[in-house]
Amino acid sequence: MVKKIIILISVALVVAVPFIFQHREITLVPLSPDDVIVIITAHNEALRSEYGRGFSAWYRKKTGKTVIVDWRHPGGGRDVARYVDSLFLNNFRFYWEKTLKKPWTQEIRTIFSRLENITEQNATPQEWEVKRAFFESNVGCGIDLLFGGGVFDHKMECAKGYTVPSGFISMHPELFTDDMIPEFFAGERLWEADGRWIGGSLSSFGIIYNMDAVKALGIEHPPETWMDLADPCYIDGVAIVDPTKSSSTLKSYEMLIQQQMQIVFDDEIKMRSPDQDPQEIEALAIRKGWLEGLKLIQKIVANGHYMTDSSAQTVLDVAEGNCPVGIATDFYGRSEKANIASRGADPRFHFVIPRSGCSPSPDPISLYRGAKHKELALEFLEYVLTIPGQSLLAFKVGTPGGPVRTPLCRAPILKTVYDPKFLPYHNDPDVNSYSDAGDFVYREEWTKSVFHALGLIFKMAFLDPEDMLRKAWRSIQNARREGRHWAADEALAVMQDLDMFSYDHVEKEIMREVKNKDYLHAIQYQTKGTNHFREQYEKAHKIAKHR
């Protein structure tokens, strides 16, 4: 019996000792806080933790009250949008039936699901009744703020009427100047004039690579441009995030396309005749550059090792050498680089912004219609957009104003944080989004009318027939290695026949499909498009293999 007790005690000690001596960081959460703010975000746990802690401390110092942030994190940007859609739909139905005393029908539901496409000019009387009823109401979703995500996400919430002007800009005009947070930079709008959304940080998109894995392929020079990722030397080596699940990845592809438009425009300007209208040249460059950009994306996907929903997975796989290269946002790339450096490991992992291929885009904050804690939301905005919240983004762990546990490695939008007096605290003092943009200028008008179709195009032409695309691409490269260049050229021309996605056709026809809320029709349309490209890629494969 004594022997058994001794054994049990020994086992208990073995299990307990690691817990007794482990370092613990205790975070005190008030059981009954004075205030609660509800924020939905796609941001990762590290940022949520640091901003939750930082805002609570800042608010207590300012007001003497306790506050907690009730974070809602359903997933990525598209998951956030779907979650909020369901909340607003249910709450508006309750308002429609209980307050307005009107019957709820499937037709009303359909109208509400496409509010962003309804204008007074094109609306039926019933459509306009539904939209006006919602826009004149104070129906909310039980959430106060949308924090982070791309401008596209926030514009969509605005178009649906979900978000409303916060009034913060008029309350703090001193922040919204060229020396603090400019309205425009490198062609990008950093905040909406009426304050429906305000950039809280800046994000850039770029290339991650593992130098050891790149050299193992016999490549001496690392990738520096978007075009480098289309090089056949990276076949089966590019880590890719599915842009239909990630708005930031979709934005990076827009940057890639805009760079192709600019390249074509610059070439055409050099060759233009004296009497040629520059506006005609620009229109030509937009259309030609659009197709060149789609062809470049196609080659990058053809070089893909996989397609994932997780932005973090691409970074980890490149860091570990499972993939030599990938595409990532700057904060994921720089966070992993800092993580590796903190372990004293060999700096094999790198992040680079493509040369002349990207401008910094804002990660905005928006106030939801019917927010129950509007005053507290304005306090959170003040915290995020001033030195206390901005320093969290760039400072090292443990520095004055810096994060407590995890470096966030994000770019502040407030210019003051780049002041030389703060640089010793920066995680990466060489990073400055306002000087790193180079000569790239984003031109919203070039892609505005077709951008929303990019996800559908990607799904039909690159994502769903991905296996056949890669098969065709490999066959083309095999033909070149065997010296059958005529076969490779003919097969490549077939593979890259994307004329059905001409700029004008997308603008007039495919955008109509994007706006169509008939889901059965959408599935049929996508299936038809996917089958078309599967057959096209199979044809390219056969040409490359047998000629």
Residue 21 pLDDT greater than 60, yes or no: no
Q: What is the mean pLDDT of the chain?
A: 91
Percent of residues, the chain, with pLDDT higher than 90: 74
Six-digit token pair at 100? 């307005």
Is the separation of the CB atoms in 154 and 248 below 8 Å?
no
With tokens 């760079």, the residue in question is 259
pLDDT digits (tens, 9 = 90+) for 337-394: 888 877 776 678 999 999 888 989 999 999 999 999 999 999 999 999 999 999 999 9
d(CA 409, CA 392): 9
Residue 139 pLDDT greater than 50, yes or no: yes
- Position 310 scores a pLDDT of 80
Residue 235 pLDDT greater than 90, yes or no: yes
pLDDT digits (tens, 9 = 90+) for 65-94: 999 999 999 988 888 999 999 999 999 999
With tokens 């233009």, the residue in question is 272
Distance (Å) of CA 389 to CA 60, 393, 430: 14, 7, 20
Q: What DSSP line would sit under 242-295, residue for residue?
A: -TTT-HHHHHHHHHHHHHHHHHHHHHHHHH--TTS-HHHHHHHHHHHHHHHHHH
pTM of the model: 0.85
With tokens 């969290």, the residue in question is 392
Question: Where are the domains positioned within the chain?
Answer: 35-202+361-436, 205-358, 449-547
Please name which of 175, 207, 212 lies closest in space to residue 190, comparing C-alpha atoms.
175
d(CA 494, CA 488): 10
User: What class has domain 205-358?
Assistant: alpha beta
Q: What DSSP line would sit under 302-325, residue for residue?
A: HTEEEEES-HHHHHHHHHHTSSSE
d(CA 467, CA 465): 6
- Position 26 scores a pLDDT of 41
**Strand-strand pairing, 35-41 and 67-72:** parallel
Per DSSP, the chain holds a count of helices (H) and strands (E) of 22, 14
Count of other CB atoms within 10 angstroms of residue 231: 17
d(CA 202, CA 361): 5
Question: In which band, very low, low, confident or very high, does the pLDDT at 1 lie, cut at 50, 70 and 90?
Answer: low
Domain 35-202+361-436: assigned CATH number = 3.40.190.10
Phi, psi angle pair for 412, to nearest 5°: -65, 150
Residue 30 pLDDT greater than 60, yes or no: no
Is the separation of the CB atoms in 131 and 26 below 8 Å?
no
Count of other CB atoms within 10 angstroms of residue 129: 15
Mean pLDDT calculated for residue range 291-303:
98
Residue 500 pLDDT greater than 90, yes or no: yes
At what angle are helices 387-394 and 45-63 packed, to 10 degrees? Answer: 150
Matching CATH topology for 35-202+361-436 and 205-358?
Answer: yes
- Position 345 scores a pLDDT of 66
CA gyration radius for the chain?
A: 26
